[in-house]
Amino acid sequence: MLKIGCHLSSSKGYLAMGREALSIGANTFQFFTRNPRGGAAKPLDMNDIAAYNAFAAENGIGPIVAHAPYTLNPCAADESIRAFARETMADDLSRLEHTPNSFYNFHPGSHVRQGVDVGIMLISEMLNAVLKSDMTTTVLLETMAGKGSEIGASFEELRRIIDMTELGGTLGVCLDTCHVSDGGYDIIDGLDGTLEAFDKALGLSRLKAVHLNDSLNLRGSHKDRHARIGEGSIGLDAIGVIINHPCLRDKPFILETPNDIEGYAREIALIKSLYNA
């Protein structure tokens, strides 16, 4: 069954997100765990969470994807920035246990002139500090565009993070179609080859979710500018192949395209029309 949703604002709480998702034809969604620019998260409203959990169960919503603030940088050179990343992720993960069996997606980080090796070591150091073997949440490393000193534009870099993490066996990967294309992988004429490379480096069983975005830039641009579905360099035909691919068709697809809520409703309807039931 197609799992499709988009990024929603979390400002009105969980039940509001669940209702909004349902109103635009979505059966999953993504949200930032807190203000993307960082800072303390609002205290959890347990009544809202309980109401959301009942609503989601009733309406077949989920699993959902919580996205760490994009300013979180586990491999910054500055220890105080790394401490913020560690504390934020630990706090997010403990909060997420109230919506069990969710995904928690994060950007591996930017090594800021320390080099890839140091960056990968620092990322796994943070994961070793925050991952718990009894969590119901699956933590996902996001595939990145390789902008600046971003780690994770190659599947092999993600593999190295997993290998250096004690509970690496529990980590999953979220494949962002814009990022993977910007990172240099061919997902238009070479989707099979790209998924083979993913399988070889990471194992396809680690692929847990897809960020479904078109890209404003050409393959290998390392830019990370999302386009609406069918309005970028990936194009509608390739998107149709992606959502129906046997290795991908059962994953939750999350749109992170530049859209207001009506635009997302239209895009979700478009994706549904392309999906071979």
Among the listed ranges 102-110, 112-120, 190-198, 224-232, the one in contact with Zn ion (CB under 5 A) is 224-232
Distance separating alpha carbons of residues 160 and 122, to the nearest angstrom: 12
Q: Nearest approach, Cβ of 25 to Fe ion (angstroms)?
A: 21
Nearer to Fe ion, 18 or 69 (CB): 69
Among the listed ranges 9-17, 100-108, 161-169, 216-224, the one in contact with Zn ion (CB under 5 A) is 216-224
Helices (H), 60-190: 79-96, 116-130, 155-164, 177-182
Nearer to Zn ion, 157 or 224 (CB): 224
Among the listed ranges 2-10, 55-63, 221-229, 232-240, the one in contact with Zn ion (CB under 5 A) is 221-229
Interface with Zn ion includes 20 (CB under 5 A)?
Answer: no
Q: Nearest approach, Cβ of 181 to Fe ion (angstroms)?
A: 12
Q: How many Cα atoms within 13 Å fall on the side-chain side of residue 112? A: 12
Q: Which among 193, 259, 275 is positioned nearest to 226, based on CA atoms?
A: 259
Nearer to Fe ion, 160 or 211 (CB): 211
**What's the gap between Cα 80 and its chain centre?**
25
Interface with Zn ion includes 214 (CB under 5 A)?
Answer: no
CB-count burial class (<10 Å; 0-12, 13-18, 19+) for 55: middle
3-class state of residue 235 by DSSP: helix
Q: Nearest approach, Cβ of 57 to Fe ion (angstroms)?
A: 27
Nearer to Fe ion, 211 or 228 (CB): 211
Q: What are the CB-based long-range contacts (under 8 Å, 24+) for 114-118?
A: 114/75, 114/77, 116/151, 116/157, 118/75
CB within 8 Å of 107: residues ≥ 6 apart: 68, 70, 72, 142, 144, 150, 152
Nearer to Zn ion, 88 or 217 (CB): 217
How many chain residues bind Zn ion (CB under 5 A)? 1
Taking CB within 5 to 8 Å according to partner kind, which of Zn ion, Fe ion, none is near residue 224? Zn ion
Q: Nearest approach, Cβ of 70 to Fe ion (angstroms)?
A: 6
Among the listed ranges 32-40, 151-159, 202-210, 217-225, the one in contact with Zn ion (CB under 5 A) is 217-225
CB-count burial class (<10 Å; 0-12, 13-18, 19+) for 31: middle
Interface with Zn ion includes 224 (CB under 5 A)?
Answer: yes
Nearer to Zn ion, 131 or 151 (CB): 151
Closest chain position to Fe ion (CB): 211
3-class state of residue 125 by DSSP: helix
Q: At what angle do helices 46-59 and 14-23 cross, to 10 degrees?
A: 30
Binding site for Zn ion (CB under 5 A): 224
